[in-house]
């Protein structure tokens, strides 16, 4: 029977106009604005005693949208659920269908990975039904997260401070950041040395060869003395080419984007946060107004963990590549890329809906951010369909007595996919790296001229701090969270104050994050265990696949969790009561306790409220000593604090008094007529500099640290500290005066 009038429900209003233009007039497209029902905000909303039954309520904020949907459904013969093609979209459609109360046989599910005319019409020709297995998987995740959040958060309010929160996945993400920070703080650098020989053959250019072995054994240079011993032994020895090996290296293109890799690459190349990346990608997916075509969806669905590409899209890409770059850039057959085991293969990778829609042609229709992200997606997809790049490689062994030096070089012979795109973290190395851009023609037995020996001191480096990009990669590799959750996880842990995003984009745990994580790890080892969380994600996948009942999944988690919760309520350290310290109150002589408040740790008198003395606690757990500076607002001591842009002075009376000021260095501003003093500052890029306290009225700036001592040679008001090759010196601040002495010498 032909349907004369049907209601189509999507999530976002931005999709309505785009989809409506592709459907017959009998279809009316409306937006639900996301979820219309959810667990209540003022109570647990999960009946633990009755198989964890969720108690959904209609969202008050969506009442207007829901009423509009009901009016539109009143005369409809059928409902087509066209929400996003994932668990969340399935659950939204299920709730909408419940609220609209149409007969089950009149409710259809349409799925599409891109909002294009072809995809929309194909989906409506073959509608299906709401997948209750996906609904169960989403419901299980929602119930799990509610149980953790509503049970753990009140515990933290009681033991630490009110307003804190915990989450099943977010707390594990914070743990990863905290453990990385601990690894950095505990890291002990190890010294080592390398030795390069600068050599020249018969033709230019000169090249560097690194010391590799002695008498066939690998050389380890732990100290400078080891290097100097080798240099002495090399004195007078001839350097001769002992082997030349040529070959070919193939470099394959990266797969088209999935959610995690898009977030990582957008962070590296565009400096986008994960949240911004998903926001802009959503706009490109839902539809952008193009002058000639009206609203058009420009990319496929952006929440996916599958690198699969439709055959039609591959064919279109091959057509463009052949015409633009030549047939030699096309592989014999379109490449396929392997997804991880838990990926939803029904989804596609993130790609342009048409490879023929070039980024430069859209410049007038997109915002700067939209164009930048679209270009990234378009280039990555085109590159993924091209041939590998080919390098000619050469490795040269150079013998000097018992010692072996080796030089390696490569030359790009065929760019392949690199004609379009190169991953940000894999940019070609500059000359001087381990592999050189090219080596001169060399032959076995050829005598080489030694231009010099270059010993270099190195120290092993601690593990790097996470960035948003590397944390997303770690979460994905550990199986924590899913594509739709990464951006939310990252934004939540920063909004809660557990993790700070500092200069250079690195993620650093706050003291609050470290304290809360320590308490949770000690009292809820399973919930905060990375492997356990990954196993729960696999269980949710099994629910979606129909291999595991969702109630069983919840019960397996909740029973040990409930036992841990009861024990933690009795045994978890209560930071509100305070920890004993060895400090004595300077006012009344009573012991001081370490307490935790809204603004972090502090020392307080144990006789409070009789004695109200408090004092800040530094990062090392010790009381912060006054600086000698006094707050000009309330008269309390000023203490040194560390902020986003470096150190500064803050009133000890914080938060009652929020006075702050830069750290003075004891040197008056040298500008004529200025009564200011030089203060320590830090630029947005993290570099320390010194500026006048009267800024912006006085703009004097100095990049070397000023030293409060007049020049004994010319009388300049101060010296400046300089450093070169590990040696610190004090020099005159005036140009033209050559006074200089070691920094550790007396004046």
Q: Show which residues are catalytic.
A: 301
Two structure tokens written together for 564: 């841990």
- What tokens does 163 get? 């307003």
Q: Residue 111's closest CA among 385, 359, 343, 300?
A: 300
Other residues' Cβ atoms within 10 Å of the Cβ of residue 25? 8
> What is d(CA 450, CA 201) in angstroms, rounded to the nearest whole number?
9
* CA–CA distance, 497 with 514 (Å, rounded to integer): 11
- Helices (runs of H) and strands (runs of E) counted in the chain: 16, 34
d(CA 326, CA 318): 10
Mapped onto helix, strand or coil, the DSSP state of residue 139 is helix
665: three-class secondary structure by DSSP: strand
Nearest Cα neighbor of 324 from 420, 407, 247 is 420
Residues 6+ positions from 75 with CB-CB distance below 8 Å: 5
Check if the beta carbon of residue 255 is closer than 8 Å to that of residue 421. no
Helix (H) or strand (E) holding 696: none
Burial of 131 (0-12, 13-18, 19+ CB in 10 A): middle
CA atoms within a 13 Å half-sphere pointing along the CA-CB vector of 744: 4
Alpha carbon distance 344, 366 (integer Å):
30
For residue 358, give every residue at least 6 positions away whose Cβ sits within 8 Å of its Cβ, in sequence order, or none.
378
SS (H, E, C) 315-341: HHHHHHHHHHHCHHHCCCCCCCCCCCC
């Amino acid at each position: 029977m032909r349907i004369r009038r049907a209601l189509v429900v999507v999530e976002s209003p931005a999709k309505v106009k785009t989809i409506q233009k592709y459907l017959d007039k009998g279809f009316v497209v409306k937006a639900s604005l996301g979820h219309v029902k959810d667990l209540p905000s003022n109570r647990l909303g999960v009946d633990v005693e009755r198989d964890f039954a969720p108690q959904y309520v209609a969202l008050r904020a969506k009442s207007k949208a829901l009423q509009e949907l009901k009016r539109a459904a009143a005369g409809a013969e059928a409902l087509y659920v066209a929400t996003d093609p994932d668990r969340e979209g399935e659950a939204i459609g299920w709730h909408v269908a419940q609220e609209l109360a149409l007969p089950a046989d009149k409710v259809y599910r349409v799925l599409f990975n891109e909002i294009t005319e072809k995809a929309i019409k194909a989906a409506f020709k073959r509608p299906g039904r709401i997948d209750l297995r996906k609904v169960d998987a989403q419901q299980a995740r929602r119930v799990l997260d509610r149980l953790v959040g509503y049970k753990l958060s009140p515990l933290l309010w009681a033991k630490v401070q009110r307003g804190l929160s915990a989450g099943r996945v977010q707390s594990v993400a914070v743990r990863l950041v905290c453990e990385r920070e601990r690894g950095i703080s505990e890291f002990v650098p190890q010294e080592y040395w390398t030795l390069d020989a600068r050599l020249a053959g018969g033709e230019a250019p000169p090249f560097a060869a690194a010391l590799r072995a002695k008498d066939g054994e690998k050389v380890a240079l732990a100290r400078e003395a080891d290097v100097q011993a080798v240099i002495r032994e090399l004195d007078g020895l001839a350097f001769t080419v002992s082997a030349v090996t040529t070959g070919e290296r193939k470099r394959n293109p990266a797969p088209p984007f999935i959610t995690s890799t898009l977030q990582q690459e957008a962070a590296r190349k565009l400096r986008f946060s994960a949240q911004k990346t998903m926001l802009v990608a959503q706009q490109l997916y839902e539809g952008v107004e193009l002058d000639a075509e009206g609203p058009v969806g420009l990319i496929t669905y952006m929440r996916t963990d599958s690198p699969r590409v439709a055959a039609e899209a591959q064919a279109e890409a091959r057509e463009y590549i052949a015409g633009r770059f030549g047939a030699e850039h096309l592989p014999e057959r379109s490449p396929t890329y392997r997804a991880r085991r838990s990926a939803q293969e029904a989804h596609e990778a993130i790609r342009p809906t048409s490879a023929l829609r070039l980024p430069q042609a859209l410049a007038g229709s997109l915002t700067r951010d939209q164009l930048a992200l679209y270009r990234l997606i378009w280039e990555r997809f085109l590159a993924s369909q091209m041939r590998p790049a080919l390098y000619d490689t050469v490795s040269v062994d150079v013998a000097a007595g018992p010692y072996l030096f080796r030089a390696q070089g490569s030359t790009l012979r065929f760019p392949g996919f690199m004609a379009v795109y190169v991953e940000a973290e894999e940019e070609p190395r500059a000359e001087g790296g381990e592999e050189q851009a090219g080596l001169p023609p060399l032959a076995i037995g050829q005598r080489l001229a030694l231009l010099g020996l270059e010993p270099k001191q190195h120290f092993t480096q601690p593990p790097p701090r996470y960035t948003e990009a590397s944390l997303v990669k770690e979460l994905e590799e550990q199986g924590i969270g899913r594509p739709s959750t990464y951006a939310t996880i990252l934004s939540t842990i920063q909004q809660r104050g557990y993790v700070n995003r500092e200069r250079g984009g690195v993620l650093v745990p706050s003291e609050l994050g470290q304290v809360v994580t320590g308490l949770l790890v000690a009292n809820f080892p399973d919930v905060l265990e990375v492997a356990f969380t990954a196993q729960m994600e696999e269980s949710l996948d099994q629910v979606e696949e129909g291999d595991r009942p969702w109630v069983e999944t919840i019960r397996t988690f909740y029973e040990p969790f409930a036992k841990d919760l009861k024990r933690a309520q009795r045994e978890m350290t209560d930071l509100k009561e305070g920890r004993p310290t060895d400090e004595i109150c300077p006012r009344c002589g009573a012991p001081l306790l370490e307490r935790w408040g809204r603004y972090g740790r502090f020392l307080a008198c144990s006789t409070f409220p009789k004695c109200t003395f408090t004092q800040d606690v530094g990062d090392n757990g010790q009381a912060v000593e006054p600086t000698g500076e006094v707050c000009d607002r309330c008269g309390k001591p000023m203490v040194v604090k560390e902020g986003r842009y470096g150190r500064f002075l803050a009133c000890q009376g914080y938060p009652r008094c929020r006075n702050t000021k830069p750290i003075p260095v004891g040197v008056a501003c040298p500008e004529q007529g200025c009564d200011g003093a030089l203060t320590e500052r830090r630029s947005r890029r993290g570099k320390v500099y010194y500026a006048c306290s009267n800024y912006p009225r006085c703009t004097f700036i100095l990049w070397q640290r000023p030293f409060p001592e007049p020049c004994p040679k010319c009388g300049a008001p101060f010296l400046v500290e300089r450093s070169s090759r590990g040696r610190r010196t004090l020099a005159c601040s005036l140009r033209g005066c050559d006074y200089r002495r070691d920094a550790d010498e007396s004046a």
